[in-house]
Structure 1
Amino acid sequence: MSYKTIVVHLDTSPNAHPRLEIGLRLAKQFGAHLTGAFAVFSPDPRSLYVMAGTAEYYRQHEETRAERRAALERLFHAELRRADVPGEWVAIDEPASLAVPRAGRCADLIVAGQDNPEDPESYVGDFFPENLILSCGRPVLLVPYASNERSTGGRVLVAWDGSREATRAVHDALPFMRMASSTTILTVNGVHEFERARIPGADMATVLARHGVQVEIVDIETGPGGSVGEVLLSQVADSGADLLVMGAYGHARWRELVMGGATRTILRSMTVPVLMSH
């Protein structure tokens, strides 16, 4: 397996440029076709007209967005030529929460962005990353809005708990791990162990070895109430990993949103790109 079709979600936010850069780099690395899927959040202008003075604001806002979209499209095609990567630009006039999962179902990998609460232009829908991961059926590489990483996938950290979601994520990340200089399987024990009979990290390491991936196994014990998400963030920082691989929403999504959970912690506080599968 390799990534031969990559879809990168683009919008009018400043974070679209780092996503495009990563998408281009991965398409070059894996010999893939890159689709730039441009989709944004567009409020119904009729809902704004009922508010005095908003009509002119909406018109100016749409003009600014159109200029940014045109500039980004020119950049996309110029970067494709520079990198000698095959690809296409697709502008979709429907909500990104519908458009991106649909485009991604015809891809091997989707590149999207972490929510940035400080940037209104990055808003494309409520819980966009979560819904994309749960609905697209493909691995999603989420790029943090505050990251300055110049590489992705050279040093891979795998969060392993033996779940179905983690299994999907490990196999979806095989193209990265085959090319990585190091891969570490991290298991975090002592938290909710009663919920499933865990499959040891060594068993998954044996499977990966048959794919030519040599891994290190790290097992961390936490006490009652320990946060798996916080452990993962600490291990990313301590190990120098530039890609975190994990399954998303091992519990019911409503439970994680209400009570927390590793997925929610990582989505909120990621510091390196994260490949998530469900």
Structure 2
Amino acid sequence: MLTDIIVHMDRGAGCTARLMAAIDLASRHAARLKGLYVITHPHYASSSSYLSDFAQVREFFINATSKAGVEAEWLLVDWSTVGTPLAEIVTRHSHYADTILVGQPTQLHSRRTSLDFHERLILGAGRPIVVFPANGDIFQFGERVLVAWKAGRESVRAVNDALPFLQTAAESSIVAMVTNRDDQAREEQTMALLQQHLARHHVKATTEVIAIQKGSLAEVLLEQARQKKVDLIVVGGFSYKSNRAPVLSPLTQELLVKAPVPLLISH
């Protein structure tokens, strides 16, 4: 069960739905919900631009959690060091929570999306990050869960971190995507073992191996999510080293931008 949940609060698209979903999650797990609003003092922002409306966000958070009867705490972090990345602040708070809900990456302009915040948070938090879609249409999640599986550390970590969600889900599916028969046989074996392990945690899950013929891994996975009508995708936050610094894999990056449902990522 979850006991401490953080929801990142801001004025961005989807924040209302994200909070409502966090309240529902906290209510189902009898967990404490913390609303985290961060003032980072960016270099070129005037004082009025970043101090103007956090009071309205706080009032909304307090009223919504009070009405739902959820134990809640408002965290206003006024970071004094100019230029400190938002991800660094959220990461420090995430170390003392079970999971953190954040919004989907925002587009800087029509052709570029900023992934810096999510990349830093996923790689540094040590906690499962639930990335919520920006469309604002989802107010509950976790009833139908899809797990993307590839035998290895990242998937194992993601499944373990997702246990509180899997144990309360009405339906759980595990899919592995492969490109050749050797991989198919191996993944079938590993998923059978995983299925047995999850059963001991009172999780019933179906398994399926999908042979990729066209499209990217993310496209195939999202199509599976659409067909199964899932409301949560669980995936390992795979990364690789570039110029000696770890960065998220293309699969993880594409899912962050395109996923139309909440995305639980663990690294």
Please report the TM-score for the alignment, with normalisation by the length of structure 1.
0.83
**Distance across 1 between alignment mates of 2:247 and 2:86:** 25
**Distance across 2 between alignment mates of 1:137 and 1:259:** 15
Cα shift at 1:135: 0.1
Q: Find the residue that maps to 1:43 and give its secondary structure.
A: coil
Cα shift at 1:212: 1.0
Q: Is the 8 A contact 1:113 1:129 kept in 2?
A: no
Q: Is the 8 A contact 2:198 2:204 kept in 1?
A: yes
In the superposition, relative to structure 1, how do residues 163 and 184 fare at CA in structure 2: closer, same or farther (>3 Å)?
A: same
Q: Find the residue that maps to 1:267 and give its secondary structure.
A: helix
Give the aligned partner of residue 113 of structure 1. Answer: 103
**Distance across 1 between alignment mates of 2:158 and 2:251:** 15
**Distance across 2 between alignment mates of 1:42 and 1:104:** 20
**Distance across 1 between alignment mates of 2:181 and 2:253:** 17
Unaligned 5+ runs, structure 2: 80-84
Cα shift at 1:43: 2.1
Q: What is the percent sequence identity of the aligned residues?
A: 32
1:1-278 to 2 correspondence within 5 Å?
Answer: 2-45=1-44, 58-59=45-46, 62-94=47-79, 95-117=85-107, 127-190=116-179, 198=187, 200-223=190-213, 226-249=215-238, 251-252=239-240, 254=242, 261-278=250-267
Unaligned 5+ runs, structure 1: 46-57
In the superposition, relative to structure 1, how do residues 171 and 71 fare at CA in structure 2: closer, same or farther (>3 Å)?
A: same
**Distance across 2 between alignment mates of 1:277 and 1:29:** 22
Higher strand proportion, which one? 2
Cα shift at 1:253: 5.0
In the superposition, relative to structure 1, how do residues 137 and 111 fare at CA in structure 2: closer, same or farther (>3 Å)?
A: same
Q: Is the 8 A contact 2:18 2:136 kept in 1?
A: no
For 1:209-257, what per-residue CA distance to the aligned partner results, in whole angstroms no more than 9, with x for missing partners? 111111111110114x7521111111111110000001011x41539x9
Q: Is the 8 A contact 2:119 2:247 kept in 1?
A: no
In the superposition, relative to structure 1, how do residues 126 and 233 fare at CA in structure 2: closer, same or farther (>3 Å)?
A: closer
Q: Is the 8 A contact 2:40 2:78 kept in 1?
A: no
Q: Is the 8 A contact 1:243 1:275 kept in 2?
A: yes
**Distance across 2 between alignment mates of 1:129 and 1:268:** 11
In the superposition, relative to structure 1, how do residues 108 and 259 fare at CA in structure 2: closer, same or farther (>3 Å)?
A: closer
Give the aligned partner of residue 82 of structure 2. Answer: none
State the number of aligned residues: 255
Q: Is the 8 A contact 1:12 1:65 kept in 2?
A: no
For 1:157-216, what per-residue CA distance to the aligned partner results, in whole angstroms no more than 9, with x for missing partners? 00000120111111111111111110000011117978xx65621211111111111111
Q: Find the residue that maps to 2:139 and give its secondary structure.
A: coil
In the superposition, relative to structure 1, how do residues 153 and 19 fare at CA in structure 2: closer, same or farther (>3 Å)?
A: same
**Distance across 2 between alignment mates of 1:175 and 1:100:** 22
In the superposition, relative to structure 1, how do residues 14 and 259 fare at CA in structure 2: closer, same or farther (>3 Å)?
A: closer
Cα shift at 1:6: 0.4
Cα shift at 1:64: 4.9
Which 4+ stretches in 1 moved above 4 angstroms? Answer: 191-194, 257-260
Q: Is the 8 A contact 1:245 1:274 kept in 2?
A: yes
Please report the TM-score for the alignment, with normalisation by the length of structure 2.
0.87
Specify the code of the residue in structure 1 equivalent to 2:167.
R
**Distance across 2 between alignment mates of 1:107 and 1:63:** 31
Cα shift at 1:118: 5.9
**Distance across 1 between alignment mates of 2:137 and 2:57:** 20
Q: Find the residue that maps to 1:38 and give its secondary structure.
A: strand
